[in-house]
Structure 1
Amino acid sequence: MKTSSTTPLLLVLVLVLVGCASAAGSDEQNELGWGMTHTQWGIDQRTPEAIASMTAQLTARPMVQAQSIMGWGVGNPEPAPGEFDFASLDGRMSFIRRSGGIPVITLCCAPDWMKGGEEGETDWSRLEVAPSPEHYQDFADLAAEVARRYPDVRHFMVWNEFKGFFNESTNTWDGEAYTELYNAVYDAVKQVNPANQIGGPYLDMAAPPPGLSLSPSSLAGSWGQVDPRTLNAFDTWAREKRGADFVVVDGIATVEEGAPDRVTALAKLSAVSEWVRQRVDLPLWWAEWYVEPRGAGWSPATRTAMNTAALVQFVRSDVATALFWNSAPSASSPTDLWTADGQPLPFLAVLQSFNEWFPPGTPLQELGTAPPLFTLASPRMVVLVNVGDQSATATVDGTTVTLAPDEVRWVARDTS
């Protein structure tokens, strides 16, 4: 067969392109769906019987589970340079594996010696201090060590809410400094395995502090506004990042952020998602979200309904992954998925049902409803949530469905 002299060059080009596509990943592999993040009180303070119950519940209907490398239930992974202690992180990763979870690691926070502290010491009051610039590479090396230790983990979020990256002298978030750290981590973790998937900037899309005079925000609505300094930091990361496989944000959608009521506040989730998507063409992750004002003391029914409505907003906004912050059951605004003895609270079943019936990319059909009634309809299932203070009705396949305030209703559709 006669061949062209350009064939070897074309073959090399094809192999390079295939390799690049594999290293960068596809949108689908970064669309993990709906899950949770482990925190200080999630597992360790419970009895073996409670942990066994939680493990069984998660194994029956697995979901994505995230864990930080230091803090939030995990000790210092590198108390001194080159001296590693992964015992507590190993324990958390073992739980995720035993319960069938899709593992995600949050690369935060940094050992004390990387931020001006003493080698061998851990001052937990300084957990949220960022590494000093001369130790960015040391933190990146630690991230690479973590990636090597847990080769089954494919997804890594870099840092958490820009902790330690606020520049007091300029009164703004230091996007350049964060992105320098991010790029060092990105290079190191990709060097361990090019298939590792990495995302940032994990910014809290919060409103500006009350009374602070700032330039107008480009992201505002009836729900409130996002601090323009946060948006500038996001744009810096988007512009200067070495690469990314997914983009990460989090946020509070409550009346504390400027909304007149809790129903209007939920619109922030969609508005932020749209703003991010206009700037970065990557799968969008919400690493945390909060819909209950601090200390509000909502009833379990209200809390479940509002968090379910938030998931409806995420699905409608083509969010790829959203992680519920699994905090203490005794907090003033609890966000736990289990009771202290390991019994499931209602929102656990909601998360698992959303993974089953409304994973990312599910084709949706409209029911013609509007807030305070939030609905999703696929060819197989409908979920309806009434977050208003009055009864609400919707028509599903010719049948009128009436929901009480704070009710969540699942309606299977006839597919025969």
Structure 2
Amino acid sequence: MAADSSLMPPCRKIRKGEPNPNHSGSSGMEEPQDADYPYVPQLCDDIERLILARFPRSEYWKLNFLNKHFSHVLKSGELFKLRRQIGFKESSIFMSASGGNCWWAFDRLFKCCRQLPELPSRDVCFIGGDKESLCAGSHLIVSGREFTGCNVVWRFELETSKWFKGPSMIDPRCLFASATCGTFGFVAGGVEMGLHGVEVLNSAEKYNPEIKSWERLPYMHKKRQLCSGCFMDDKFYVIGGKDENHKELTCGESYNKDNNTWELIQDMLKDDDNPVAKRQSPPLLAVVNNELYCLETSSNELKVYLKKTNTWKKLGAVPVRADLHKGWGVAFKSLGNELLVIGYSSAIASSNRNCNCNGMTIYTCRPEVKSEELQWRCVEGYRDRLNFFLLNCCVMVA
């Protein structure tokens, strides 16, 4: 009986010096070789990419050093598109804590860490000045000011593991609110250094990493700087900050992508027990399971926003000293279904108030709105690579 051809491995051309599987014995050898490798059919491109799409993204950068084929697959961006299609997402934390152009990337569990290539800017003002960051898709966006006074944007692309300059925002800004939704990055408010001096903005923009461009959004109701942003209920929220007269704002605004409009929310940060005027940094906000949390910088206390009553509920103390620098130098982020906070440990500060040692402490917890006391877990590792004052921190989900 003839063999079923559908069960036979695909044929390929026999190269010189390679044994012919159709012949037996040494007569099939045109030239000698050092080893006899069994024939293994190659995977088709679709199956290969499906396997790589499930490969830990924190290890993707190693594909660049495997061979040209895998490097090309990574740089094409196809793996990230496929990950989105199959719903396979992974969180990474990007931090800059040592000044200059040094950035570190951590996996979600802080078990894997690598230093990114040095940001290639040689502008001394950009290197030593304040910078702001956000993530959009597989791009890390870093915004800062150069010696000329102009605000510039640098982006780090995971596909190529390289930095690129631009594209600049439509309205170059600093001290703005930002948030990520899917593959898009959103910014709003802030300060623009123009020909006529400093201008507080009420403009907003959306960054699309696939076409590497910014798109203007409708203007907000209020001009605001030193504000914070987040995504909740599928809306872009911009909360708090100061207006053009340096007056503290307790209101918030939400941008609805479906009807392309902003809604003003009065007294969103109003708290009679702890006035908003005490907040020096932008509000420290994070959204987990579609609930909004705030780290109060003057009391080191965690609060959750009650949407129905437009009020805040206290959930107890957070184990870091956010009050040491009035909220600056502390990271408070959402990490999947957990809250992430990075800062100087309150336990160390309590035991030694005169301690000037460096070292960040990382904590996570799974918050519950109805809980009376939250359980924080201390994450070990890489403390020696980050100093006490955290300059930038953002979370990428891709």
State if a TM-score over 0.5 links the two structures. Answer: no
- TM-score, length of structure 2 as denominator length: 0.33
- TM-score, length of structure 1 as denominator length: 0.32
Higher relative contact order (CA 8 A, sep 6+): 1
- Structure number with greater Rg is 2
Larger fraction in helix: 1
